[in-house]
Structure 1
Amino acid sequence: MSEYFIGMTGGIASGKSALEKAFAAHDIVVADADVLAREVVQPGTPALAAVVERFGRDVLLPDGQLDRTALRQRVFGNDGERRALEVILHPAIRTRLLEICQRAVSPYAIAMIPLLTEGGGRRTYPWLRRILVVDTPAAVQKARLMQRDGIDEALADKMMAAQASRADRLALADDIVVNDGGIGHLLDAADALHARYLALAAAASAT
């Protein structure tokens, strides 16, 4: 079982998913908070029951699944509602992230947490040994976001502003990948980090 856990984060459209795939190609277990956010609200889960109790049955589809569109409309632009949702979902997601990392059979495991900075960083995730930030210059990030989502500049600016600042993310970083080039650059960075993390995990297990 793995005991060396790395948190990976970055802004929207920074290239986190591509880097995640690169680590997975090295047979490294990656626990993805975005995937788990869907898992923890499947029908029958305590988190879904808590969401329905707080927001009402209008956030359910006829088959009992969470109506994500309806829920987004409830919390969008309403900080109080958004925080209420986070209080329900984030602890369940954090629990699953740690469980998956602890069960990992790879030499180290990665917890992919897009909102790591916004969620409290190391204070909230004391079990992370290192934090890897995928960093992208703001202009490049905006262009990628506009192309990826087919949105205009105003909406891209609004989506980027809703996240933690680039400076705040970088302040948490032990390792940084500057993703301002092609996929080859990102794969080379993943290879170098993989070698570093293998060495660090081996050293940690020997102590």
Structure 2
Amino acid sequence: MANYIVGLSGGIGSGKTTVSKLFEQHGVSVIDADIIARDVVVKGSEALTLIIEYFGENFLLPTGELDRTKLRTRIFSNSKDKLWLNNLLHPLIRKNIIQALEQAPSDYCLLVAPLLLENNLQHLVDRVLIVDVSEEIQIKRTLTRDKSSEVEIRAIINSQISRHSRQQAADDIINNNDTDLAKLEENVRLLHQKYLENSKIAE
């Protein structure tokens, strides 16, 4: 496992992907929990078979892949279905995350997980980094990026841990309300140096 692990999280539309890519430019290994979550339900997987048995064939795209948008809409309006899905997927995702962390080659690595705190993944990391933005900016950026409606985006925000709770759990916070990329790059550079030093102490 990587010598030192930083958990990167933040609400929907906060800019986690942008921040993680800046860390990658410094040679940092990035493990993305969302990518792992997609991989466990790929076409032909046992998890996808179980999901379709439970939800029905109409949750498949014409390609035979999972209609993630449709499933997301369903589980946000049905707590019983959400619980069933979480009980199926979370153990698989956690197992694959741990395997990826064990194989990370850099001095320290980044675990990017939107639900880091909700799913208790912070226990896998040495430090928690939160990308923080206002709710107004979350909605604006997500509307620009996704096909989701504002009602759906607000439902996602409300289903996640509160902004205040994230801030309380953070060891480090990047304020990403600003659109100044140079400022963001400098914040990442400083944190990268700090994490490198921490990883050497942890050896």
Bucket of the pairwise TM-score, normalised by the shorter protein? 0.7 to 0.9
- 1:163-207 deviation digits (Å, cap 9, x = unpaired): 2110111121111111122211211111011101101111101xx
Match of 1:162 among 143, 159, 182: 159
Q: Does 1:5 align with 2:2?
A: no
The Cα of 1:62 is off from its aligned counterpart by 5.2
Unaligned runs of 5+ in 2: none
Indicate conservation of the 8 Å contact 1:30/1:112, yes or no. yes
Q: Does 1:176 align with 2:161?
A: no
Shifted more, 32-41 versus 59-68: the winner is 59-68
Aligned match of 1:50: 50
Indicate conservation of the 8 Å contact 1:31/1:97, yes or no. yes
The Cα of 1:139 is off from its aligned counterpart by 3.2
Q: Does 1:191 align with 2:189?
A: yes
Count of residue pairs brought into register by the alignment: 202
Please tell me the residue identity of whatever aligns with 2:184: L
Matches within 5 A, 1:51-200: 51-61=51-61, 63-122=63-122, 126-149=123-146, 156-181=153-178, 182-200=180-198
Please tell me the residue identity of whatever aligns with 2:130: V
Sort the Cα spacing of 1:46 and 1:152 in 2 relative to 1 into closer, same or farther, 3 A.
closer
Distance (whole Å) between structure 1 residues aligned to residue 73 and residue 169 of structure 2: 31
Indicate conservation of the 8 Å contact 1:140/1:180, yes or no. yes
CA RMSD of aligned residues (A): 2.3
Shifted more, 76-85 versus 49-58: the winner is 49-58
Runs of 4+ in 1 over 6 A off after TM superposition: none
Shifted more, 46-55 versus 149-158: the winner is 149-158
TM-score with structure 1 setting the length: 0.86
The Cα of 1:154 is off from its aligned counterpart by 5.1
Distance (whole Å) between structure 1 residues aligned to residue 84 and residue 182 of structure 2: 41
Sort the Cα spacing of 1:154 and 1:45 in 2 relative to 1 into closer, same or farther, 3 A.
closer
Indicate conservation of the 8 Å contact 2:73/2:152, yes or no. no
Indicate conservation of the 8 Å contact 1:14/1:135, yes or no. yes
1:8 counterpart SS class:
strand
- 1:63-119 deviation digits (Å, cap 9, x = unpaired): 542232443354230011011111111221122222111101100111100011222
The Cα of 1:121 is off from its aligned counterpart by 4.9
Please tell me the residue identity of whatever aligns with 1:47: A
Please tell me the residue identity of whatever aligns with 1:195: Q
Sort the Cα spacing of 1:11 and 1:46 in 2 relative to 1 into closer, same or farther, 3 A.
same
Indicate conservation of the 8 Å contact 1:10/1:135, yes or no. yes
Aligned match of 2:39: 39
Unaligned runs of 5+ in 1: none
Shifted more, 151-160 versus 18-27: the winner is 151-160
TM-score with structure 2 setting the length: 0.87
